Amino acid sequence: MMLRRGFILFLPRLAGLLVVACCSVSIVYMLACTPKGDNQQLALPRVHSPTAKEGYEAILQEQEEQHRNYIVSLKKQIAQLKAELQGRSKQLKNLQDQHPDPLDIRLDHSNPEKAQANLLAFLRSQIDKAEVHSGVKLSTEYAAVPFESFTLQKVYQLETGLTRHPEEKPVRKDKRDELIEVIELAVGSLNNPERDGNAKHRVYTASDFIEGIYRTEKDKGTLYELTFKGDAKHQFKKIVLFRPFGPVMKVKNENVNMADTLINVIVPLAKRARKFRQFMQNFRSANFKNFTFIQLNEEFSRGKGLDIGARFWKGNNVVLFFCDVDIYFTAEFLNSCRLNTQPGKKVFYPVLFSQYNPSIIYGHHDSIPPLEQQLIIKKETGFWRDFGFGMTCQYRSDFINIGGFDLDIKGWGGEDVHLYRKYLHSNLIVIRTPVRGLFHLWHEKQCLDELTPEQYKMCMQSKAMNEASHGQLGMLVFKQEIETHLHRQKLSSKKT
């Protein structure tokens, strides 16, 4: 009874507290939700003001009008976007009807017959777009895609580079297999009996093939024109084949984070103090962390020095960059080194740009610019050193697993090709490509007297290739004739 009476007495107080709390919440809510004008917040009417009701109604009406206008504006924008979307969709459909999407060709497995028909239509369109049936207008004399010719034994090519020859027996398996396949298809086409029913025809073989020409348009395909012996002396059979390139297909889409990928740059060195000083200046600009000097008191061997440097590392798996002291590399190249290597998967063999003799390029020693300004990739300043395999990036684990260098090779050279061949014979992918941030700095090549006449001749030919371009060497050969001509011109101008 006492508890019930106390509770009954407490109820009026509790009700009063609830009323005060509700009033407080209402005031805070009105303060927080009062709309703002263009420049300042609208003032609330005073509670005890005679115009409080009219003020609140005006504020609510103004706020409602603002919301209504905003909704109307949004509806207009939505309508405009819908109209634009419908227009774009119509344009896209018309474009797809005219040019079937290659992705539909390869991804639509629900209807195999339609997919095959679309694929055949696409391949035929590649032939129509290529320069097969008619020529195309070209802007300059350099825009024409040249043909290369071939026989059963050799390919006559236009590829440039010091190791390329005007003719060669194809050593690359893909090129060899490609040409063999084309000749076999052409022979099969010539021997196709469906032409005249039961009529007898001669049987063609690969020995009837005389020559062929081919060229590749990178975005369309490869055109082959093959000539065979005919039935008489001046008669020939000509077969035209085309290998169309199919649609581009996505293989991989991934994010690559190389922030924690370390590169261990290993440089073998012997009696090259001045070059090493220059190398370290470049090394500092590549944001190196630290370096370790390993001294060996024995006969110099580049392969052994690199091998010891690679095995000296005791940390986690790391990218190894085998480098020489006369190499200049940029920080961007180190990113290429990281991106083109993958443990157990890929090794990187970049083709570096080899610098010509600056004294010949720039005419006089005093006119040679600073090193950073010399590093320009042009035919007048250097060449792609596609015969060198000494600069390479690979993970330490791959280097160890492949067996490292041949330590029986002494001195300088030979060990790089041996290691390169090991990777070629393995299941790892070898990435071979020219890179813009890796330079071989020119240094004088010495041809020793103890070389045989043939070796000395080859050494001098190599020296000439590294000195200057063909045109620049020609200017040196004809220097006397040029000076004589200039002298005559000078005398002629004085007489007039």
- Which of residues 42 and 202 earns the better pLDDT score? 202
Contact between 210 and 229 under an 8 Å Cβ cutoff? The reply is yes
Closest CA to 373 of 383, 361, 385: 361
199 confidence band (pLDDT: 50, 70, 90): low
Query: What count of other Cβ atoms lies within 10 Å of the Cβ of residue 438?
Result: 24
pLDDT at position 36 is 46
- Which of residues 173 and 6 earns the better pLDDT score? 173
What is d(CA 461, CA 466) in angstroms, rounded to the nearest whole number? 9
Number of H helices, E strands in the chain: 15, 13
Q: What is the mean pLDDT of the chain?
A: 79
pLDDT at position 25 is 42
Tens-digit pLDDT profile for residues 396-444:
999 999 999 888 776 556 788 899 999 999 999 999 988 989 999 998 8
Instruction: Give Cα 424 to chain centroid, integer Å.
Output: 21
Is the per-residue pLDDT at 468 higher than 60?
A: yes
Q: Integer distance in angstroms from the first to the last C-alpha of the chain?
A: 141
Is the per-residue pLDDT at 129 higher than 80?
A: no
Tens-digit pLDDT profile for residues 359-387:
888 877 678 888 888 998 888 899 888 88
What does the block give as tokens for 391? 């600069």
Tens-digit pLDDT profile for residues 296-306:
888 888 888 99
Sign of CA dihedral 180, 181, 183, 188: positive
Query: Bridge-partner residues for 320, per DSSP?
Result: 264, 394
Can you spell out the DSSP letters for 304-337?
A: HHHHHHHHH--SS--EEEE--TTEEE-HHHHHHH
Query: Bridge-partner residues for 322, per DSSP?
Result: 266, 392
Length of the chain: 496
Can you spell out the DSSP letters for 163-178?
A: T--SEE---SHHHHHH
When pLDDT is averaged across residues 327-343 and rounded to a whole number, the result is 93
Using a 10 angstrom Cβ sphere, with 0-12 exposed, 13-18 middle and 19 or more buried, the burial of residue 182 is buried
pLDDT at position 361 is 86
What is d(CA 106, CA 93) in angstroms, rounded to the nearest whole number? 19
When pLDDT is averaged across residues 66-93 and rounded to a whole number, the result is 78
pLDDT at position 288 is 79
In 75-206, which ranges are E strands?
A: 148-150, 155-156, 167-168
187 confidence band (pLDDT: 50, 70, 90): very high
- Would you put residue 348 in left (φ > 0), alpha (ψ -120 to 50) or beta? beta
- Which of residues 390 and 366 earns the better pLDDT score? 390
When pLDDT is averaged across residues 53-63 and rounded to a whole number, the result is 74
Can you spell out the DSSP letters for 450-480?
A: TS-HHHHHHHHHHHHHHH--HHHHHHHHTHH
When pLDDT is averaged across residues 321-349 and rounded to a whole number, the result is 93
pLDDT at position 18 is 52
When pLDDT is averaged across residues 284-301 and rounded to a whole number, the result is 82
Percent of the chain having pLDDT more than 70? 78
**Considering only 115-119, 240-244, 392-396, 485-489, which range has the smallest mean pLDDT?**
115-119
Query: Nearest 5°: phi and psi at 301?
Result: -145, 115
What is d(CA 179, CA 474) in angstroms, rounded to the nearest whole number? 38
Is the per-residue pLDDT at 230 higher than 50?
A: yes
